Amino acid sequence: MTQLTQTADVAIPELAGLQRRLFVAGGVGAAVSLVGLLVDLRQFLQSYLMAYMLCLGVTLGCLALGMIHQLSGGAWGVVIRRPIGAATRVLPVMTLMFLPIALGMTRLYVWTNADLVAHDEVLQHKHLYLNIPFFLIRAAIYFLVWNGLSYLLNSWSLEQDRTADPRLARRMQILSGGGLVAYGVTITFASFDWMMSLEPHWFSTIYGVLIMGGQGLSALAFLIVALVWLSRRPPLDRIIVPAHFHDLGNLMLAFVMLWAYFSFSQYLIIWSGNLPAEIAWYLHRLQTGWRAVGLTLILCHFAAPFVVLLSRRVKRQPDLLIKVAVGVLIVRLIDLFWLIAPEFHQTGISVSWMDIVVPLTFGSIWLGCFIWQMRGRAILPLHDPQFDEALGRIIERGAPPRTVH
C-alpha cells in the first residue's frame, strides 16, 4: 500500500498546522467582528448574511456536484471527491452558524415588523408565508434535508473505502437522483426566505435558479483552488495531471455561462414586463452608485472569466487556473453584496469595514473546519467505480502506475 491509502493528515502532515492557523485567524476576526456587532448590529447582520451565503454556497454547491458525479460518473469527479466530501461535512457547523441570522431576523427582515405589516396590504397577503414561526420551521426543514443527504452519502462513501462493496455505488446513485431534486427545491425556497424577502414587495421566479448557479460556480472555484494546493504535495503531485484541471476548467466555464444566462434572463423578463413592483429592485441598483457594482459583475463575473476560460492553455496550467478560480470566489462575494446590501442602502453605495472583516473571519473558520474534515479520510477514493478511468488518465500522461497501487 502507498500513501494513497493513508489518511490525508498522515500523507500531508502540514494540514494540521494550516488548520490551527486558520482557527487562530478566525478567532481574531471573530473578536474584531464582535466590536462591529456592538457598534452597529444591523450592519453586522448584513455582512454576516453575505459571508454566510458565500460559505453555504460552497458547501451546498459541493453537495450538488457530488451528487451530479454519482449520477453521471467520469474521471473529473474522482480527484475532487475527497474535498467535496469534506466540504459537505461542514454542514453541521453551517447549521449552527445560522443562529445569528435566526436571532437577528427582526433587524434584517422588515416583514417581521407587525406594525408595518398592519399598514401594508402586500405584506398582509404574504403574511401566511412570511411570518417568524413558519420561517424558522422552513429553515429547520432545509437543514434537515441537507444534513441528511450529506450524512448518508459520506457514511456510504466511508463504508465503500472499507469494504469495496459495489452495491454502495448504486445506493449512492439512487439517493443522488432524489437528492438533487430535494436540493433544488430547498435551496430555491431558502433563497426566497433568506435573501429575496429582504425586499418582500419584490419577487422573481428565477431567483432560486440564479442562486443555484452561483453556488455551483462557487464550489467549482473552491475545488480548483483546493486541488491545485493538493497537487503540489505528495502523493498527489504524481497523480493529478493537466487533464484533470482541464475538465474542471470546462465545468467552471459552463457555470460562468449559466450564471450569466440566469442573471440576464431575470433582468430581461422583469424589465420587459415594466411592472413597478418588480423593476423597483433594479431601479435602486442601476440609478444610484450601486451601478458600478453591477458593471463590475458584468465585466468580472462573466466577460473576463468567459474569455480567459476559453483558452485551453489556461485550463491546463494550475498556476493560471488558480488565479481565475480565486478571482471567481472574490467576485462571488461581490455578487452577494450586490444582492443583499442595496436593500439596506437604497440611496447609494455603502461599504463597511465589516463587509471585509466578517467574510474573512467566516471564511477562515469554514476553511479550518474543511481541513479538519479532510484529515480523517484517505487522499483518494480507491474503490470509486470511476477510479480506473481516472487512473487511465494518469497512465496516459506518463505517470508511473505503481504510485496508485
pLDDT, residue 235, reads 79
> What domain range is 83 assigned to?
3-251+355-404
3-state secondary structure of 370: helix
d(CA 141, CA 170): 26
| Closest listed residue to residue 346, CA positions, set 110, 55, 158 | 110
pLDDT tens-digit map of 190-230 = 999 999 999 999 989 899 999 999 999 999 999 999 999 99
Whether residue 278 is contained in a domain is answered as: no
pLDDT tens-digit map of 250-282 = 999 999 999 999 999 999 999 888 888 788 899
Spell out the SS3 assignment of 221-273: HHHHHHHHHHHCCCCHHHCCCHHHHHHHHHHHHHHHHHHHHHHHHHHHHHHHH
Q: Average per-residue pLDDT in the chain?
A: 91
Opening angle at CA 353, ends 347 and 358, nearest 5: 110
Whether residue 240 is contained in a domain is answered as: yes
Question: What integer is the mean pLDDT of 42-69?
Answer: 97
Taking the complete model, does pTM exceed 0.85, yes or no?
A: yes
User: In 10 A of CB 111, how many CB atoms?
Assistant: 24
Is the model's pLDDT at 44 over the cut of 70? yes
The total of structural domains in the chain comes to 1
Whether residue 342 is contained in a domain is answered as: no
d(CA 214, CA 338): 13
Is the model's pLDDT at 181 over the cut of 50? yes
Whether residue 14 is contained in a domain is answered as: yes
Whether residue 340 is contained in a domain is answered as: no
Opening angle at CA 86, ends 331 and 174, nearest 5: 100
pLDDT, residue 85, reads 95
Question: What integer is the mean pLDDT of 381-402?
Answer: 56
Whether residue 273 is contained in a domain is answered as: no
Whether residue 88 is contained in a domain is answered as: yes
Cell of 100: 445569528
Residues 6+ apart with CB under 8 A from 261: none
Whether residue 289 is contained in a domain is answered as: no
Rg (CA), the chain: 22
Please answer whether residues 83 and 202 qualify as being in contact, where contact means their C-beta atoms are separated by less than 8 angstroms.
no
